[in-house]
Structure 1
Amino acid sequence: MKRILLTFLLFAIGLIPIAALWASGSGEWNPSGRLSGWEYFWEKPEEEVIGRPEPGLVTVPSAGWASIDSPLNPPGRNGSNVLWLRADLPAGTWRDPGLAARLYEMYEVMAEGKVIYTYGTPRAENPAYQGTPLRFIPLNQEWFGGKLYFRIYSGKANIGFMQDAVVMEQAQYIRSLLKEQGSRFILGFFYLLVGMAAIYIAMRVNQKEFLSFGAFGVFFGIYTLCRTAILYLLFDVPKLWTYLELASLILGCTAILAFMEQLFGESYSRINRGLRILWKVHLLYAMVLLPAAEWRLVPFPKVLAFYQLLLLFSMAVSIGVLLYHARHGNRDARILLLGTLCFSAAGAVDIYTNVLLPAAHPPQLSYIGMLVFLFAVISVLVRLLIQMKVQLNHSEKLSVAGRLAAGVAHEIRNPVTVLSGYLQLMKNGRMNPDVIPVMLDEVNRINSIINEFLLLSKPDKPANEKHDVALILGEVISFLKAEAEEAGIRVSVSTDGRLGSIRCSKDQLKQVFINVMKNAMEAMPGGGPIDIELRRDGRELLIRFLDAGEGIAGKDMERLGEPFYTTKENGTGLGLMICQSIISHHQGNLVLYGRPEKGTCVEIRLPL
């Protein structure tokens, strides 16, 4: 039942970002504001301008323009890296107008023979790559109804506009951007939170798998944020976000490959060797080629292109490793295989469309694939946590069992020694009949220790019947009433009247209440009050037993619950452990602590 509830919870949490992605529309890009009447002109390689011209002096081609339907990759390039495009600015009145445009890859925008906007360094001999983000280019109202010119530089296969250029007001642009990419922005923070939570768990449980997954979540959160143009509204540094996007992608892939290697351990060291080599290659890629691209030793587009090939190869190797483990019956490998297949298929489609179909503008499936993969990994980590808890409980039980066994051996040794001595006397014919009661007492003591040990080691499961705890407590008080009055003890019960029935074992709860009541009575040999509180506390039933005895010394309080540790002359030290074991089997909790004033308090909480 717990696994079903946990699976449902993970599914429900996963629906939140999925629903956000599904609900995100294409924004409010105004169709009437799209540029039209496109014409192009290729600047011949030998005529390409190097160096920035004097301010106000822009030489615009006067002839040789040809019409084109789409301002992306016009025909007749013939090795040229400089493309001129021009379009008609729609007539109309605008408030804070601008042009929303995304181009390959550096460009100048001109109106009325003047450069009005520059992105990158298109006239430099060795221009630095700054990415191709969506930009909002401010426009002057008096330019509308005329021509807008673009001089575009790109050394890659693609050159021109990645999507339609649309004129809109600045406020409309911001609203459209938030609607189109707001869900991805939220998704990035979601990944960051998941990653930081995993790192926190890793610090608590000291497990490398959680640390690797945490790094994966943090880096992919940064990667997702860097892929949104919303970030440029906050801090407009395209080059920083472009390099950070690629660095976080590489380091995120490094972390998830390391996670897979650590998850399967050393049992398949030869198979996992491929994963170990791969994540080291990814890490080396980030440490060497990214700085080389920044220092312009290697063109950034080539660094990105080669990494896409490495990413596809890593997906294939990961799937192969997961297939191997899945075929050998590893459940975690099967779950990860499903998530990896979804993410790999979505990522491969995105890479294919971005490289070969740049004008198609399909939805980015990798966001959905990443979510499926993320929750597949989370489900594996939850299973790992459950296994760790079971192993920890098993270790604690073994430790307690060992201490109990040692305690039983120690407690039984003394009466067995007494019995052995008397039997030797009986064998030699020197037995005194007066010692027979002593021998019987020792036998009874051994029997009592064994019975309590058996009850503690194998308590019965609570009965699946509803009982009124107030009635059970009343029966116990009636049973001990005569003994309490003889000892001068006054028992009072207070309740809030909102009690309900709980599923429990009536006999086991009676035993707990009797043990607690007798301990309180023995703590007050001269008499005194025992106050019992019975009330609801949220979804729990709270029962408190408060006495006014001498209390328990600090050194003794620290050792309460240890097997066979007792302050009573004839006690076994198992009574409190038996009570705690019974309450624990009822999914509750029992705590004993000293009161600020004189006496002690036993607090029992049971689920309603």
Structure 2
Amino acid sequence: MSEQTTSAVQRLMDQYTEIARLAGALAHEIKNPLSTIRLNLQLLAEDIEDEPSPHQHRSLRRVATMQSECQRLQGLLDDFLNFAKVRKLTLKPTDLNHELADLLDFFAPEAEAAGVEVVRYFDPDLPTVLLDRESFRGGVLNLLLNAKQAMPDGGQLTVATSGDGEWVLLHLIDTGCGMDDQTAARMFETFYSTKPGGSGLGLPTTSKIIEAHGGEIRVQTEVDRGTRFTISLPVPPRLPGQGGVEREVVLPE
């Protein structure tokens, strides 16, 4: 990479960093008065409950509606802050199979409660990859939760790993409702969601996390047949020394 190109990339990264910080500051400025509004609505509800009457009951329903909307906005802001923040990834040599086994053990009670059978097919000869454990787990967990939500009546979720030359592949295959072509084409767009009350930031955040690891995420889906997510992670040509590699990555769109 030439010095001119490196300089241009650095300027772009600096601009992204500044945008992320400004967006985060704005979100925090919104969260502070929103918290005050939620507190005052709670106090108002308590005052109304002290004097029950048909009129007061109507007022309580209106207060409950406003509280619900405040809660939704709070969740949206939390998701946005998670999406826009500057991430420092500490990439360390990691056994992907072991990491997935640990995550699936954590996810197991939720899957069982939803009637979802989790099937594991792990390649025992999988090469080591470089991962930031916290961010990668968060990204994959989001995909697991999406798969569970796509199977409201239960189903099967297959989690498989395999090697492909210079890449390690992670497949997550569900037997859920699937997606039409329009939804599949837009699923990684920020703020696009088909879920009532969804923020539309979960999948874009997961995509940015995978990209920050030098990988990519692909999707194959068919309505009423299910969805397959495939995550590709590069196999490092040479493992770093102890302590890992620290890289500052910005994840806004």
Aligned to 2:77: 450
In structure 2, do the counterparts of structure 1 residues 383 and 571 end up closer, same or farther at CA, with 3 Å as the change threshold? Answer: same
In structure 2, do the counterparts of structure 1 residues 450 and 383 end up closer, same or farther at CA, with 3 Å as the change threshold? Answer: same
In structure 2, do the counterparts of structure 1 residues 466 and 549 end up closer, same or farther at CA, with 3 Å as the change threshold? Answer: same
Quote the offset at 1:566 in angstroms. 0.7
- The residue correspondences of 1:44-83 to structure 2 (distance < 5 A) are none
Q: Does 1:567 align with 2:194?
A: yes
User: Residue 178 of structure 2 contacts residue 224 of structure 2 at CA under 8 Å; is this kept in 1?
Assistant: no
Aligned to 2:120: 493
- 1:327-381 Cα deviation digits (max 9, x unpaired): xxxxxxxxxxxxxxxxxxxxxxxxxxxxxxxxxxxxxxxxxxxxxxxxxxxxxxx
Aligned to 1:88: none
- The residue correspondences of 1:588-599 to structure 2 (distance < 5 A) are 588-595=215-222, 598-599=225-226
- The residue correspondences of 1:476-555 to structure 2 (distance < 5 A) are 476-555=103-182
Report the Cα distance in structure 2 between the residues aligned to 1:524 and 1:552, rounded to whole angstroms.
12
In structure 2, do the counterparts of structure 1 residues 558 and 540 end up closer, same or farther at CA, with 3 Å as the change threshold? Answer: same
In structure 2, do the counterparts of structure 1 residues 505 and 499 end up closer, same or farther at CA, with 3 Å as the change threshold? Answer: same
**For the pair shown, which has the larger CA radius of gyration, 1 or 2?**
1
Quote the offset at 1:443 in angstroms. 4.2
User: Residue 459 of structure 1 contacts residue 581 of structure 1 at CA under 8 Å; is this kept in 2?
Assistant: no
| TM-score, normalised via structure 1 length | 0.32
Report the Cα distance in structure 2 between the residues aligned to 1:539 and 1:562, rounded to whole angstroms.
28
Report the Cα distance in structure 2 between the residues aligned to 1:595 and 1:391, rounded to whole angstroms.
41
- 1:514-547 Cα deviation digits (max 9, x unpaired): 1101100100111111112201111221101111
1:469 maps to a residue whose letter is L
Report the Cα distance in structure 2 between the residues aligned to 1:491 and 1:475, rounded to whole angstroms.
13
Quote the offset at 1:393 in angstroms. 6.8
Report the Cα distance in structure 1 between the residues aligned to 2:224 and 2:77, rounded to whole angstroms.
37
User: Residue 169 of structure 2 contacts residue 232 of structure 2 at CA under 8 Å; is this kept in 1?
Assistant: yes
How many pairs align?
Answer: 221
- 1:434-469 Cα deviation digits (max 9, x unpaired): 567665544443332222222211243222432221
Aligned to 2:243: none
SS in 2 for 1:533: strand
Aligned to 1:109: none
Aligned to 1:16: none
User: Residue 545 of structure 1 contacts residue 601 of structure 1 at CA under 8 Å; is this kept in 2?
Assistant: yes
Report the Cα distance in structure 1 between the residues aligned to 2:179 and 2:223, rounded to whole angstroms.
12
Aligned to 2:87: 460
Q: What root-mean-square deviation, in Å, do the aligned CA atoms of Structure 1 and Structure 2 show? A: 4.0
- 1:271-321 Cα deviation digits (max 9, x unpaired): xxxxxxxxxxxxxxxxxxxxxxxxxxxxxxxxxxxxxxxxxxxxxxxxxxx
In structure 2, do the counterparts of structure 1 residues 390 and 459 end up closer, same or farther at CA, with 3 Å as the change threshold? Answer: closer
Report the Cα distance in structure 1 between the residues aligned to 2:6 and 2:223, rounded to whole angstroms.
38
- What are structure 2's unaligned runs of at least 5 residues? 51-59, 236-253
1:530 maps to a residue whose letter is L
| TM-score, normalised via structure 2 length | 0.70
SS in 2 for 1:544: strand
Report the Cα distance in structure 1 between the residues aligned to 2:165 and 2:153, rounded to whole angstroms.
37
User: Residue 488 of structure 1 contacts residue 526 of structure 1 at CA under 8 Å; is this kept in 2?
Assistant: yes
User: Residue 595 of structure 1 contacts residue 601 of structure 1 at CA under 8 Å; is this kept in 2?
Assistant: no
Quote the offset at 1:595 in angstroms. 4.8
- 1:215-266 Cα deviation digits (max 9, x unpaired): xxxxxxxxxxxxxxxxxxxxxxxxxxxxxxxxxxxxxxxxxxxxxxxxxxxx
Task: Give the helix-richer structure, 1 or 2.
Answer: 1
Q: Percent same amino acid among aligned pairs?
A: 27
- What are structure 1's unaligned runs of at least 5 residues? 1-5, 7-381
Aligned to 1:602: 229
Quote the offset at 1:576 in angstroms. 0.5
User: Residue 549 of structure 1 contacts residue 598 of structure 1 at CA under 8 Å; is this kept in 2?
Assistant: yes
2:171 maps to a residue whose letter is R
